[in-house]
Structure 1
Amino acid sequence: MASKRTNTAAWSKSLNQWKIGVQKDGVRKYFYSGTPGRTGQREANAKADAWLDDNITGTNKKISVLYAEWVESVKLTCGTSYVEQCEKYGEYYILPVIGKLKISDLNEGQLQTVIDRSYKHRCLKKDRQTKSQDKPLSKKTLMTIRSVEKAFLKWCRLNNYTTLNPENLTIPKNARLNEKTILQPDALSTLFSVDTRTRFGKRVFDDYIYAYRFAVATGLRPGELVGLWYGDVKGNTVSLRRSINVQGEETTGKNENAIRSFVMSKKARSAYDSQVQLLRSSGVPLNYNTPLFQIGCQRSLVKRWESYQKSNGIEPMVTLYELRHTFVSIESGVLTDSQLKMLVGHSKNMDTAGTYRHELKGQREALAIATDAAFDKISV
């Protein structure tokens, strides 16, 4: 198997040129470039990569062919949702730009072009383009495109098709996150005080009420809420071990940080205790693997949550996932970013506060009061 370069060319003052040494199969070679600036550094690195790639297999394969093989390998270990995401992002954004290239001709600049063109033109597959093509893609979608590209290239490296490791793919500076809606204080007050909805013109108890409250008090994803078992709660600690996606499949969650534990707040504990009492009064046996909220599927939860909001005049309406945004918006003024990441299951690189925090009514006024108090303190 070919070696993979882990270093980069360095400028040699004595030689007055860029120099890099790499090793393959016990043989070490040095490559040089006298071109000044970073162009010369890239030239030396390219020479080293070309030598390392000399024995790379399948370098004449088209990227579209390898991408299809990668998706098939993803199906072996990942849930349907992630597989569909990889297929969609390949079809809409990645393959229209680089699909016809040979893997040996691919470079980091072409991967960056995928991101830049997608930002400017949105969907790049001609028969899927819409009237909103003039509206740039959101920052989060562009970050997902980059993530999928990196995952595909990692598979290619592992399978000895290339040594390319894109390290400097950037998101356009003007890219913005889509605006999300969160529950404002009045709506939160309704959620924690009203446990009924309207059904056929009559008020009825909403037996998912404690799931809504638990979601906004913990920041759980909808799939994590559906996948939570009675046995996952010990004392005041909740251990998240699984998620149920929209296809009804059990997964280990959205990412490697999804499996986590946390201690319940008072609001979360109250919702949990009320749900356990509801299960007992309904005669549901409380075994280790008893679904805590008795939710049939995510679609059922979505429809019921929409019905609850309409019945109780909550406007603007928010999605189940935006309950997670609500949680982060409430907690962001209290917790550090690292604490938020740990609670909601985000990676170190995720901008949790920047992506999920939105303004609650009254926050600006509170900030103004706090600023006045600070200035009063130093002007006495």
Structure 2
Amino acid sequence: MGKRTNTAQWVESTQRWRVSVQKDGVRKQFYSSKPGRTGQREANAKADAWLDDGIAARAGRVEDVCKAWLHNVEITTSSTNYRPLESRWRCWVLPVLGKKRINAITDQDLQTVINNAHVAGKSKKTLMLLAADMRSFCKYCRKAKLSTYTPEDLTIPAGARFKGKKVLQPTDMVKLFNTDTTTYKGAVVRDQFINAYRFQVLTGLRPGELVGLRWADIHGNTVFLARSINVDDEETHGKNENAVRSFVMSDVARRVLDDQRNLTGDEESVFCIKSEQFYYYRWRIYCRVNELQAVSPYELRHTFVSVVKTLPAGEVKPLVGHSADMDTFGVYGHALTGDAENTAQAVNSVFLRVLKQA
């Protein structure tokens, strides 16, 4: 803790209180224009705060400090992670917080950002990302000794909903696992990525993880995921720290991979997908030709979670690379045809057992 040995003095020429203090070889002056002892105490308090906490009494504005923070994010993450974050910050955070001093931010300021986005119809996931963005910025400010503020009471409005996602229904999955063909240049051919579609549904891989998968990553029945190729053709370690993982394949996934091995020969890449965009393009054609519901490749990941949602969450999270606090089933689990009937039958069975015992 720093210790001030002097007190603010009134400067007649500037009509304000001034106190000069030094810490770690750095000298700063703090001021107050308030008359009387109130102003003297205020100037002294500013100096004490700087000496004690290393926090500048007149910290910069959010719009200025965030430039350094955003640059730090840009150079430490992939462009596909940085661009959406920068867009959220520019569209939702800066209009509310841009002119605020770093050391004057409150929980209500951050809550206003979230509430505004909610009123504008943004999904629950977007609101959660905004909250995470602002917590990350505040952490950066604390590490940079610009503020001591830690958000404590941010809430997502109860009415917020996740954006509707589609998944393959059982009838679509039956077609997927029984139909190999598509059209290419007007001819009916075997789809070159048929095993990729099937493997994604069976494992819940992200599209970029599928593109980046190498035969060297597979040892026996275990798949080791250590890279992802994003839409900008950049190789990364995945979306987050949980993305680097391993899992043991199911028997049906193993059979799909064995079939792919017979097709690729000496290729290094498992599915030989040249880009995520091309994969998406061929998948859309396959869906149209075979009359499957038009879902995105990422929604094939949602399909996997929807199929296995009856398993314990603790078993599914490591498979898909989610953290312990991620609401995997809430975000990724969607209703499949027959779910309601199966639930009704399960409830019926429970009551039958209870009544039989009675």
- Please report the TM-score for the alignment, with normalisation by the length of structure 1: 0.79
What SS does the aligned partner of 1:257 have?
Answer: helix
Deviation of 1:165 after TM superposition, in Å, equals 1.3
Any conservation in 2 of the 1:103–1:162 contact (CA below 8 Å)? Answer: yes
Matches within 5 A, 1:98-109: 98-109=97-108
Q: Read off the aligned partner of 1:243 and give its amino acid letter.
A: S
Seq. identity, %: 44
- Unpaired stretches in structure 2, ≥5 consecutive residues: 3-23, 25-45
Structure 2 residue 313 is the aligned partner of structure 1 residue 328 = no
How far apart are the structure 2 equivalents of 1:346 and 1:232? Answer: 20
How far apart are the structure 2 equivalents of 1:187 and 1:55? Answer: 61
Matches within 5 A, 1:337-376: 337-376=313-352
Instruction: Spell out, residue by residue over 1:140-166, the C-alpha distance to the aligned partner (whole angstroms, 9 max, x if none).
Output: 010011111111111111111111111
- The Cα RMSD (Å) is 2.1
Instruction: Spell out, residue by residue over 1:3-46, the C-alpha distance to the aligned partner (whole angstroms, 9 max, x if none).
Output: xxxxxxxxxxxxxxxxxxxxxx9xxxxxxxxxxxxxxxxxxxxx
How far apart are the structure 1 equivalents of 2:49 and 2:179? Answer: 67
Structure 2 residue 68 is the aligned partner of structure 1 residue 90 = no
Deviation of 1:167 after TM superposition, in Å, equals 2.6
Deviation of 1:168 after TM superposition, in Å, equals 2.1
Q: Read off the aligned partner of 1:301 and give its amino acid letter.
A: Y
Instruction: Spell out, residue by residue over 1:291-341, the C-alpha distance to the aligned partner (whole angstroms, 9 max, x if none).
Output: 1111111101110110110010112x11111111110010011x2111111
Deviation of 1:52 after TM superposition, in Å, equals 7.7
Structure 2 residue 262 is the aligned partner of structure 1 residue 277 = yes
Match of 1:241 among 190, 203, 226: 226
Deviation of 1:267 after TM superposition, in Å, equals 2.1
Tell me the equivalent position of 1:28. Answer: none
What SS does the aligned partner of 1:180 have?
Answer: coil
Match of 2:278 among 278, 281, 300: 300
State which structure, 1 or 2, has the greater radius of gyration over its C-alpha atoms: 2
Deviation of 1:257 after TM superposition, in Å, equals 0.5
Deviation of 1:85 after TM superposition, in Å, equals 1.7
Deviation of 1:378 after TM superposition, in Å, equals 2.2
Structure 2 residue 198 is the aligned partner of structure 1 residue 222 = no
Any conservation in 2 of the 1:63–1:100 contact (CA below 8 Å)? Answer: yes
- Unpaired stretches in structure 1, ≥5 consecutive residues: 3-24, 26-46, 122-135
Matches within 5 A, 1:111-126: 111-121=110-120
What SS does the aligned partner of 1:194 have?
Answer: coil
How far apart are the structure 1 equivalents of 2:85 and 2:60? Answer: 19
What SS does the aligned partner of 1:163 have?
Answer: coil
Matches within 5 A, 1:1-380: 55-57=54-56, 59-121=58-120, 136-280=121-265, 285-286=266-267, 290-315=268-293, 317-333=294-310, 335-380=311-356
CA spacing shift, 1:318–1:205, aligned 2, 3 Å: same
How far apart are the structure 2 equivalents of 1:55 and 1:175? Answer: 39
How far apart are the structure 1 equivalents of 2:287 and 2:173? Answer: 11
How far apart are the structure 1 equivalents of 2:53 and 2:353? Answer: 69
